[in-house]
Amino acid sequence: MKLSALLICLGALLAATALTWSKMSARRSIKQVYEDVKSGREPRVGIYAMIIAPVSVVLILAGFYLALTWR
């Protein structure tokens, strides 16, 4: 298996684990989530999803870059 395909698949799987149907419609900034946590309310977006989302995007973009540039 090529490294590019592996990175794309890994990024997609990580993104899929971070999604839940009940939280997909919540569009909140990091500041709003921080204020919710600080005030003791339950956060609408999990810390795991906030970390995994950019990581999965980077993995997918790196995979596409390698797929397009590698011979």
User: Other C-beta atoms within 10 Å of 52: how many?
Assistant: 19
Burial class, 23, CB count within 10 angstroms (exposed 0-12 / middle 13-18 / buried 19+): middle
Answer for the pair 11, 60: CB distance below 8 angstroms, yes or no: yes
Q: Which residue has the higher pLDDT, 71 or 51?
A: 51
For 24-39, what is each residue's pLDDT tens digit?
A: 446 667 787 778 778 8
Q: pLDDT per residue over 30-65, tens digit each? A: 787 778 778 877 656 677 878 888 999 999 999 999
